[in-house]
């Protein structure tokens, strides 16, 4: 059978669509490398000993090429392009759930109240194994695409819940992804606004929330950006514009390509430049969240509370390619009004193993806010008020990544009757049950110390010292293991908080969790304390 030759469209698309001074100077080299790649690709597909799949080979080539850059420069196929549009525009037709797609099943991580998955009786932890007539174990493509369909179309789902197979019929409908999933006025006249993403509706929804809260009597505001991974840069500017005057510089972008060097200023009249404002961030607040929190900090417009943010100071832009695909490419770095680039990882000067290096604290550069307060670059946004409760230890992060906390919450839900938001407490007895669950789950994680020890052994083997230090290494690893077991108890408080959060969502959804936060969350309590003390608030900002 004659083999089909796939032209490297991505490379040619970049050749045609990219225009800059640096590009023109490299024109010959780019054309030369494309010609080499094209002839290699042709010869490989026509002459390799076994039948090849040109599309798979091209995907591998693209992935390997982009891996040498930063993790935000990505190639998107047609399905991924559509998913990005959903995230930006905030509406799609689907089931209304956050899912994790595995090889032969789809696991539901969160079910949104009142949407199709919820109406069909699906719960977090359910594992979908068949969609319509398609068994996922026999399906090799993106199973998530099978859940999509026309509005009001029905689909039968088979799923596993607590080891038992069940079936339901789901009616697809329009699902709106809210940028502001929750806002509410507290008894002490503080408005609480949760901003979970920066899609095209973000600033409009924040503005609506602020307007409604002020009409209800709000005199101070808490803007919660914890866990917000970012989104549209323009919406970050627009959200900031709600609280700062027209004409303020919010961020600048700098690149080796002149057209990407831009200054982003507020374009509209603000809603309120005087209302006391606290912004909550943590290690999962990134990108657009850092533009908002960083600019409000630099302009001394808000007190930032929580833990150091993620540290993503890179700007991406999608570039259209052939056949509905895209290249999402890093085009510039962004800087806060004081001149800070908060990018924490250096992807261009990697270590000997090819890993991105982290900016060291001693290499941070000092800048000043409008009022002369010291702020620093190179490591995300450091809050004005740092709380230990906002940071997660290594063991806690491992529990999250391994879905141990999620899985325990699933077990708890099916073993426990309805819980009340008013008096729910995760007790010492519950924590004991969790530790027993850990043993059954055979939970393990590797510390940075263990990784360094393994590297040491590799080096010692090369130099002939392996036997001499083997016993010492074994003893150290044993001591580390004992210390790791103690970490579970030492970090009990932060683990209990995450368990409580996950459990509450099972019974009372996302809305119930935020309601619970208003009475129990330590970051919100601290924000209230600062906002309710005018002298403390002013002292921090001055």
Residues designated as active site = 287, 298, 312
Neighbouring CB atoms inside 10 A of 464's CB total 8
In sequence order, the 6+-apart residues with CB closer than 8 A to the CB of 47 are none
- 374-403 exposure pattern, b = at least 16 Cβ within 10 A, e = fewer: ebbbbbbbbbbbebebbebeebbebbeeeb
| Backbone phi and psi for residue 153, each to the nearest 5 degrees, phi listed first | -80, 145
Structure-token pair, residue 322: 């052939």
487: left (phi over 0), alpha (psi -120 to 50) or beta: alpha
In terms of C-beta density within 10 A (0-12 exposed, 13-18 middle, 19 or more buried), how is residue 172 classed? buried
Among 197, 198, 179, 186, CA closest to 222: 186
Three-state DSSP class for residue 215:
helix
CB atoms inside a 10 Å sphere around CB 345 = 20
Taking the CA atoms of 25, 31, 37 and 40 in sequence, report the sign of the dihedral they define.
negative
Spell out the residues 6+ positions from residue 275 whose beta carbon is closer than 8 angstroms to its own.
214, 218, 219, 220, 221, 243
Question: CB neighbours (10 Å) of residue 508?
Answer: 19
H helix intervals, 402-491: 404-415, 428-441, 448-463, 466-490
Containing H/E element for 290?
helix 288-298
Instruction: Provide Rg for the chain, Cα atoms.
Output: 26
């Amino acid at each position: 059978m004659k083999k089909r030759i796939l032209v490297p469209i991505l490379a040619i698309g970049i050749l045609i669509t990219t225009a800059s001074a640096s590009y023109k100077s490299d024109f010959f080299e780019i054309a030369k490398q494309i010609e080499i790649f094209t002839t290699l690709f042709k010869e490989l597909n026509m002459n390799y000993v076994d039948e090849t799949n040109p599309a798979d080979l091209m995907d591998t080539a693209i992935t390997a090429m982009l891996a040498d850059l930063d993790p935000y420069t990505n190639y998107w196929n047609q399905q991924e392009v559509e998913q990005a549009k959903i995230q930006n525009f905030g509406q799609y037709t689907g089931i209304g759930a956050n899912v994790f797609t595995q090889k032969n099943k789809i696991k539901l991580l969160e079910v949104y109240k009142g949407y199709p998955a919820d109406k069909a009786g699906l719960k977090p932890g359910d594992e979908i194994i068949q969609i319509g007539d398609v068994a996922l174990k026999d399906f090799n493509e993106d199973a998530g695409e099978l859940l999509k369909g026309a509005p009001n179309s029905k689909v039968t789902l088979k799923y596993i819940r607590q080891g038992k197979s069940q079936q339901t019929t789901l009616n697809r409908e329009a699902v709106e992804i809210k940028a502001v999933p929750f806002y509410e006025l507290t008894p002490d006249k503080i408005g609480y606004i949760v901003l979970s993403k920066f899609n095209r509706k973000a600033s409009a929804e924040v503005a609506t929330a602020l307007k409604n809260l002020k009409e209800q009597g709000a005199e101070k505001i808490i803007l919660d950006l914890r866990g917000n991974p970012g989104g549209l840069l323009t919406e970050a500017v627009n959200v900031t514009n709600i609280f700062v005057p027209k004409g303020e510089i919010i961020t600048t972008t700098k690149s080796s390509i002149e057209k990407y060097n831009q200054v982003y200023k507020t374009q509209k009249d603000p809603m309120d430049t005087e209302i006391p404002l606290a912004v909550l961030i943590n290690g999962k607040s990134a990108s657009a969240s850092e533009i908002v929190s960083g600019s409000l900090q630099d302009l001394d417009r808000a007190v930032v509370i929580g833990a150091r943010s993620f540290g993503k100071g890179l700007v991406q832009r999608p570039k259209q390619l052939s056949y509905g695909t895209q290249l999402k490419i890093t085009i510039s770095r962004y800087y806060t009004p004081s001149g800070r680039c908060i990018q924490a990882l250096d992807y261009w000067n990697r270590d000997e193993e090819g890993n991105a290096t982290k900016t060291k604290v001693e290499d941070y550069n000092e800048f000043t806010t409008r009022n002369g307060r010291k702020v620093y670059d190179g490591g995300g946004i450091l809050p004005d008020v740092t709380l230990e409760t906002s940071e997660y230890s290594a063991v806690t992060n491992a529990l999250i990544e391994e879905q141990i906390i999620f899985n325990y919450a699933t077990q708890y839900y099916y073993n426990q009757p309805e819980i009340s938001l008013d008096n729910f407490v995760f007790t010492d007895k519950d924590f004991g049950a969790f530790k027993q669950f850990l043993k059954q789950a055979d939970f393990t994680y590797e510390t940075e110390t263990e990784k360094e020890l393994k590297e040491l052994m590799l080096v010692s083997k090369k130099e002939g010292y392996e036997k001499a230090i083997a016993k010492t290494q074994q003893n150290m690893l044993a001591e580390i293991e004992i210390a790791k077991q103690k970490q579970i108890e030492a970090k009990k408080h932060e683990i209990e908080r995450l368990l409580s959060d996950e459990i509450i969502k099972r019974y009372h959804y996302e809305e119930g969790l935020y309601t619970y936060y208003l009475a129990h969350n330590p970051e919100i309590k601290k924000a209230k304390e600062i906002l309710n003390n005018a002298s403390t608030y002013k002292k921090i900002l001055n």
